Structure 1
Amino acid sequence: MKKTMVTRTFKFVDAVLKQKADEFINLLDRDSVEFAERGYDAAAKTSFENARDAVAGFPSDETLEAQKIQLTAAKDAARSVLEKTMRTIFNMASNHFGAQSAQYRAFGPADIARQPDAELARTYKIMVPAATANLAAMAAEGLSQTIIDTLTTQGIALDDRIDAVAKGISDRDVATEGRIETLNTLYSYVTKYAGIGQDIFYEINEAKYNDYVLYDTPSGMPDVPPI
């Protein structure tokens, strides 16, 4: 069964939620006498603070996206150098055997620029044994064991970077989900104490009541209709 995607239970910008948590912790210190009757003590404060601090332990979405971009750039660079070597070997094979020959086709599909990364990685693995088998025959075209070794090294590098991108995407998804779950937990603390604060100060202290009012908007402030 496919796992349900975790989503934010709030509309605040993440930084605004953390700011609200900081603000509420200070308010609860100020109003500790009133809140003590509702179970807010040192242990409850520590739990609230731990929930706030846990948010800072996760990398931001922007950081995770930057890491993915860096991994993708490294993969693209590895692909570029591999393609160059493969085109050279295809050219050597075409010059020696002819582009329509069975020997040339043994080097794999030549449309490497259009091949997805995984297919290109498969093509280089076809090319390595074909080039090795025809090393003596194609030596006059410039093929050498050094070129074949370079092809192998570059192919392995591309394989590794394809895996790194896949892992980076997976790690980003896991980290993003964990971050959202942690933010949702913090939001549950904020809304709990917002509700208690409003209940305590309702029709008793308007200023303090307003301190505990939350607006579920990105800014945390009430939406103001345009004039």
Structure 2
Amino acid sequence: MKKQSVFRAYNYSDAQLFEQAMELLIQLKEDQKEFAQYGILSGHIAAFEQLVKDFSDIPTDEELMGEQMVATEKKQDAAAEVRRLIRGIMNRVGQKYHSKSGRYRKFGTSKLSDMSDPKLYLCAKRVIRVGQQSLAHLEDVGLNQPQLDELHRANQAFELALHIKADRVSERDISVENRVILGNRLYEQMLKMGQVGKDIWQGVNTAKYERYCTYESSFIREEKRKSQKED
């Protein structure tokens, strides 16, 4: 994966962040009247609830990794089919020409098993091109146009599989970044709401005050960080 361009403001898992956000949401709804005295109205709480929902709706990295793995497997299967067809063609070419001859080497299939995906794709195109040029000389060993057409179709499927795999990788990178950005927004709101909850219940209701103390140390660290940046 590509290096993330954004970083988490929170140092625990997304699942833990979501769990804490849901707990806070319950508290906000219970204390809605008290929060209204601090300018945090029902609309603000509804916006926070939507933020929690949006965060939970983002696909997890496990889901996206699974899709990427499926795309990789399909790409590998497509590559294996291309190699199989190339070998079938080259077995026929080898019956006509020595493997070290120029006519054989013209097909460019040396180290077929070790070729990277882009090289394999180009190799298949070359085998088709050279094969068509050599059909008249290779018909007696069983090479024909339908075999070259079959390789062409397999190579097209391989190209599509390569694009799909690349798309899945990009989608995962983008989703990871979006999840971090949204998670940071949610975390910031949790810190603010948690501090207000403490201010409301400090010296009034110890049990309720302690429910909001979960965010105390995080809030203090965040405020210090912002203060240092401003200085």
> If the length of structure 2 is used for normalisation, what is the TM-score?
0.87
Does 2:124 correspond to 1:124?
yes
- Corresponding residue for residue 189 of structure 1: 189
1:172 aligns with 2:199: no
Query: Which deviates the most, 114-123 or 199-208?
Result: 199-208
Q: Secondary structure at the match of 2:213?
A: coil
Q: CA shift at 1:165, angstroms?
A: 0.6
Alpha-carbon separation, structure 2, partners of 1:115 and 1:14: 39
Sequence identity percentage: 28
**In the alignment, which residue of structure 2 is the partner of 1:140?**
140
Native 8 Å contact 1:68 1:168 kept in 2: yes
Greater percentage in helix: 2
For 1:33-48, what aligned pairs fall within 5 Å after superposition?
A: 33-48=33-48
Q: For 1:208 and 1:42, how far apart are their aligned partners in 2?
A: 20
Distance 1:161 1:192, change over 3 A: same
Q: SS of the counterpart of 1:213?
A: helix
User: What letter corresponds to residue 154 of structure 2 in structure 1?
Assistant: Q
AA in 1 matched with 2:21 = A
Give me the whole-angstrom Cα distance separating, in 2, the residues matched to 1:4 and 1:12: 17
Segments of structure 1 that go 5 or more residues without pairing to the other structure are 218-227
Indicate if the aligned counterparts of 1:11 and 1:216 stay in contact, CA closer than 8 A: no
What's the Cα RMSD here?
1.8
Q: Which residue of 2 aligns with 1:220?
A: none
**AA paired with 1:190?**
M
Runs (4+) of structure 1 exceeding 4 A deviation are none
Q: Say if 2:92 and 2:143, in contact at 8 Å, map to a contact too.
A: yes
Q: CA deviation at 1:66?
A: 0.4
**What is the distance in 2 between the residues matched to 1:159 and 1:72?**
13
Q: 1:116 to 1:4 in 2, by over 3 A?
A: closer
- Between the aligned partners of 1:216 and 1:147, the Cα distance in structure 2 is 71
TM-superposed deviation, 1:100: 1.1
CA shift, 1:215, in A, is: 6.0
Residues 1:54 and 1:88: Cα distance change in structure 2 (over 3 Å): same
Unaligned runs of 5+ in 2: 218-231
Q: CA deviation at 1:109?
A: 3.3
Give the Å deviation of 1:216.
Answer: 9.5
Counterparts of 1:159 and 1:4, CA distance in 2: 28
Indicate the residue corresponding to 1:57 in structure 2: 57
Asked if 1:6 corresponds to 2:15, the answer is no
Which structure is higher in RCO with an 8 Å CA cutoff and minimum separation 6?
1
1:147 Cα shift?
A: 0.6
Deviation at 1:200, TM superposition (A): 2.2
| Greater alpha carbon shift after TM alignment, 148-157 vs 27-36 | 27-36
For this pair of structures, how many residues does the alignment match? 215
Contact kept, 8 Å, 1:96 with 1:138, in 2: the verdict is yes
Distance in 1, Cα, partners of 2:207 & 2:158? 62
Partners of 1:207 and 1:96 in 2: CA distance: 89
Task: Check whether the contact 1:10–1:216 (CA below 8 A) recurs between aligned residues.
Answer: no
* 1:216–1:124 CA distance, 2 compared to 1 (3 A): farther
Residue 223 (structure 2) aligns with: none
Partner letter of residue 39 of structure 1? G
Counterpart for residue 221 of structure 1? none
Q: CA deviation at 1:71?
A: 0.3
**Helix, strand or coil for the counterpart of 1:78?**
helix
Letter in 2 for 1:197: G
Name the CA distance, whole Å, in 1 between partners of 2:17 and 2:97.
Answer: 67
Query: 1:66-117, CA deviations, whole angstroms, 9 ceiling, x for partnerless residues?
Result: 0000000000000111101111212222221111111111111321100111
Taking the aligned partners of 1:13 and 1:194, their CA distance within structure 2 comes to: 19
Moved more, 74-83 or 106-115: 106-115
